[in-house]
Amino acid sequence: MAGRYRLIEPLGSGGMGTVWRAADRVLGREVAVKELRGPAELAGPEREAFTLRTVREARAAGRLNHPGVVAVYDIFEDCGHPWIVMQLVRSCTLGSLVHDEGPLPPRRVAEIGVQLLAGLQAAHAAGVLHRDVKPDNVLITDEGRAVLTDFGIATLEDDSPVTRTGTLVGTPAFIAPERASGGSAQRASDLWSLGVTMFLAVEGRSPFQRGNALATLAAVVYDHHGPLLRAGALAPVIDGLLAKDPARRLGGAEAESCLRAIVEGALPEHASVPTVPRPAAPPSAQTLPVVSVPAQRPSAPPSAPPFVSPSVSPQARPGTPGATVPGPALPVRRSRRWNLAAATGALVVLVGLAAGGMAYLTAGRPPGGTVPGVSTPTVTVFRIRSTPPAPEDESRPAVRPPGDPADEPGRQRPTRPHEKKDKAERGNSGKGLGAGE
């Protein structure tokens, strides 16, 4: 190939091509040659774009010179597709190691993480993003050193992308949420992929792998990664790297500091360490208190405080599940008239519910104007009246419970308080306002 490389044997193959062990007859050394065939459906302009991108990305990887990154020596085109010549590393992949030996000890995974972080930071400093960090692209040498390989889909941060429209480049289970949601790759995206790789290495399973690619991408965007049962002191680092929001994700320097502490024994292997402080998360449905009070509109007239169901615990506080937003304090009146008014208000609520004339809120059907993002309300709130209670020196009409004989058909309509004051003073005589009025 290209007048100098003789293919000896295949070392592995995948959807994009085959990696060969080859001999460089010019320099007299063995190398790895990656044959990049690309997707079979590519043709015409798309095939040309694929070749152009491969050449560009191989050149990007060729800019790197770090012991934690497999070196790229050459690139050429033959048989209608590109070939990349790389450093031959006698090793096995991290994926095959976990498959054969099971989950690795936390300290060993921390050591691998430190070495991979060093390679990624060198790439990022050169403006190169990997975009496909995963266990099968991590080589474990015979000496136990971790080396990052396959920058075949790497990209330069300052280059315009050359990809097919709508194509998502990378392995679904290891793609960062911002990329799975249609965003562009960034340095934090590589750190997310490193976190998933470390999760698999220490737990022995992929946190987001599902039955198909679409379900896997949905899990990446929406699902939590699940419990870390074997990680020990490594758990806070992985948690930090797997923050959905890249702005809150653990940075490379912070992650390296924590991992080195585990490797050097400053932290017990199976102990937990404090989580690195991150900026506060924006409010979400998981962090907001459960509220069932409609949002106040500027044009709405002031109203009296709502009546709260007595099933609510008096210890509930705003910010805890099941709490309501406190309204203005009700005036405390310890007179007999106030107690009568409170009982009257409760009966109004019951009568209103029976007649279907009172609005209510439920968890399944929030009305318009509810607080955005808040779900599962546990408190039902009713508005008793739109005006304050009458002063104590005024007469109060009595309220009969449903089923009072005065409600039967044929009964004379009771006189309202303003029509005849002496009837309003009868209190609970059964001649007050009816439920239907």
Question: Which residues are catalytic, by number?
Answer: 132
Going by C-beta distance under 8 Å and a sequence separation of 6 or more, which residues neighbour residue 296? none
Query: How far are the Cα atoms of 49, 218, 294 from residue 375, in angstroms, in the given order?
Result: 48, 22, 13
Task: Quote the CA–CA distance of 381 and 389 in Å, as a whole number.
Answer: 19
- Residue showing tokens 């004379």: 412
Question: Taking a C-beta distance cutoff of 8 angstroms, is the pair 196, 137 a contact?
Answer: no
Beta bridge partners of 91: 141
Helix (H, G, I), strand (E, B) or coil at 7: strand
Among candidates 285, 282, 281, 284, which has minimal Cα distance to 377? 285
Among candidates 69, 78, 76, 30, which has minimal Cα distance to 151? 69
Which strand (E) or helix (H) includes residue 23?
Answer: strand 17-24
Task: Quote the CA–CA distance of 50 and 58 in Å, as a whole number.
Answer: 12
Task: Quote the CA–CA distance of 144 and 395 in Å, as a whole number.
Answer: 90
Has 34 been labeled as part of a binding site? yes
Task: Quote the CA–CA distance of 385 and 349 in Å, as a whole number.
Answer: 10
Sign, CA torsion 254/260/266/270: positive
Helix (H, G, I), strand (E, B) or coil at 11: strand
Among candidates 9, 3, 81, 86, which has minimal Cα distance to 49? 81
Side chain identity, residue 210: R
- Residue 23: phi and psi, rounded to 5, are -110, 130
Task: Quote the CA–CA distance of 16 and 39 in Å, as a whole number.
Answer: 6
Annotated binding residues for ATP, written as ranges, equal 34
Annotated binding residues, written as ranges, equal 34
